[in-house]
Each structure stands twice: as structure tokens, then as C-alpha cells.
Structure 1
């Protein structure tokens, strides 16, 4: 059962009676004009709020803005709040997502790497590190082939959104709005590759999507790492018994063919 934010949290952020929202791992609540969610990692939550509160928007993207509690802090009793963005997500708008991600990443390209990235430890961060570690090995055959196809890259890392496809809100007359920023320190082309891999695996995109964005920096290598990121994240849940989801096989075959034409 979902646990709503306590009344004193809702009041601290100026919200109304909370109702559950879809997504957000079942922990996100709409309270009037604010969205409330648990802040599992306070350093990251405060940092993200401070960056997005001050980030200028361009014609290519918008951002959900954070809301301060009555105390002036970005957090209250383990919760954070964001201004609700009208519209809807649509993970089939693949090209728009890649383009909006590019505009967002250009806007944050000069932001310094935060120290908390070294402290995060969850299945996503472990999978990310493994997918970039050229010495990492796995016994599962398809994963092993993808790992073996990687090569060193020189693309410059920066702050990026590592889960963009389902975290853009679309509304008529407005650019796509970025929500739920999952920060990673990787090349911008890697973030685009994660978007493309998600579209291929789960949302009906075809191989032409890969080709349309093939001018991205070190594209094939970024796609391999993005594919591994998603697969190894799944594997973290079922160590010892994990087998890749059937949706991964055709996409992996496409990427391996690009890596070894």
C-alpha cells in the first residue's frame, strides 16, 4: 500500500490533499499544484533542486521547478516537492526526446561534477559503473558478447539525465519538460543512447532510429554501454538466476552488428 506524505509535510510545501500519481516507483503524490516524493538521498535532492531552480530554459526544453518548504529548505521530513507540470509523458516520441535531451544537456554542460555521485550505491549506479568498466565480465552469454564489443572512448563526460524517455512531459504549445532528473556523469551521447535503447526495447522503435542519430559522438560504443546499463540493472535484482528479457535479444543483435560490421 502506498504511504502518503504526512499532513505536516503537505502543509510545509503549501499543498492540498494528496492523491497518488502514476510512475515515480509508486511513491509520488500530487498535492494541489505541487508534486511530493520521498527524498531518498538528501545530498542529491538538495543539489538537484538548487541546479534546476536557477537553470534558464531555452526553446528546446523546459524543467519542473522545485518548491521550497516553509523553512526555506528544499526538504522537509525526508520529502521534496516540485511544481506540477500539466501534460503527459509519451515514450513513443523518441526523436523529440533525444532532441530535448540534447538541449537540456547543452544547458547544463558547464555544471561541475557533484561529490555525491561517488557515494550513490544502488542497482542503477552499480550497473552504470559495470557497463563502463572494460575489465568487467559476466557469465551470461549475450551480456558477455556486449561487454567484449566495447572499446575505449574519448567522449567528454558531463552531467546528463540517465532516464529521459519516460521523464519528459508534453503539452500543446510548450517544449518537452524534463522531470525526475536522474543525474549521471557520462557523455551526452550516452544519455541519447539510453533513450534510443529504451525506445527500441520497450516502445516499438525500429532500427532507423539508431541511424537517424548516428552522428552522435562515438555512437556505437555509447549504444553498447546503454544496452548493458539496462541489462545489468535488471541483473542486479536476480543475481545467479538472471536471464535477459526476450526484448533485449534483437536490439543487442542490432548493436553487435554495428560494432562488428
Structure 2
């Protein structure tokens, strides 16, 4: 498995913290967010991380990693943001024409990577995307997913006032190579996954439920909650 961490965001909702720290390096319980992700993806043979805002801070973080981890990381700087899909298109040579993981690295997550990959490997015919979902405590602020009895996504409800459930899109995916082909077919370097690509695969997306831990840390309130969770005493699972 190879992976792309989408880490170029500005983190405007977390200012003033992100005036000097890129969002992907925001500390949680004393550890930068990217550190959690690289540990989670330790079995991936290559992890591409795109940068844009304060790239020198990300470069310094990667340079200080243990050599075995550093060898697996590819930094891909974007002078102009390409959007979440445009980034994948630019980096497609790294994914070796095989299924690959994509994650928005402004989430704090913990899951079984092997189980996620196995879920995708056993996907039904026609399924091109396995989407991680989680049970949110604030459904009106998330993209809520409807699915059938086989775990195939049938509808999305993006930040609506009265969503029909609590199962939300975690913005962590395993994509088949045909998703890259769909991005390329748009014929533009700047592409957004959530609005231009994911909806086009409706009915061809299966879910993988993360029942361990998943939280968007993009607001001061959610960051504080993550801090409390991960500062729990040793052995106490958030």
C-alpha cells in the first residue's frame, strides 16, 4: 500500500495557533499531528505529503524523523494549491497503478490499516472506493453518509440541519487507479475530490467503519477535545 497525506491546508480556523505552525504539525498531547499519521501508516512503503503553507516547518519535521521513516516520505510542494484531486493527479506516478490510501491529514485518526486494506481487497464488483466512516457527535457539521445493507453508499448529506443519521465521511479513502483516470478526464490541474470526484462514484463506494478513534481537529473546540482524549492516563483508551 502507498499513501497520500493531504497536508497543505492553511488552518485558518485555528488561528492564531496556525500563524506560525502549519495545521498538519499542530501538537496534540505534545506530538505533531503528522507524527500520528506516519506511525499509523508505518506499513506503507511510500507516503506522499503535499505542502504549501509554511513548508519549511514540514521539511524540518521530516528531516528529524528516524531514517527508516524518512526514506518512505516524499514531500511534494505546491506553490499554487491544486485542490485535493489535483494533488493526486500530479503525484500519480508514486501510486504504481495500484489501490492507494488518501487521507486528509487535518484529522486525528486511529484505525487498523490492514483491516481497511482487506475491506477494499474484498470489495464487490464495480466498487472503486472504500470510504472510512465514523460515528460523529455533531452530525450537522459533517458530511453524513447513507448506505444500504451491503455497506454501499447511496446518498450524501453535506452539513445539513437535520441529517438522517450520525455516520459521517471520515475523508480517508482507498482509491482504485480508475479514480485517478476520472480526475485526469476533467482536463484541469485543479480538482476538488469532495465536489467533483466522490459524487461521481455514488453507488460505487463502500464503507469501512472506524470504531476506534476519528476526529477533525480543525476548530479550537475539536482540538481541545482531542487534547483531552489523548492526554488520558496510560491504558485509558479515548
TM-score by length of 1: 0.28
As a proportion of its length, which structure holds more helix? 1
As a proportion of its length, which structure holds more strand? 2
Q: For CA contacts below 8 A with separation 6 or more, give which structure has more relative contact order.
A: 2
TM-score by length of 2: 0.30
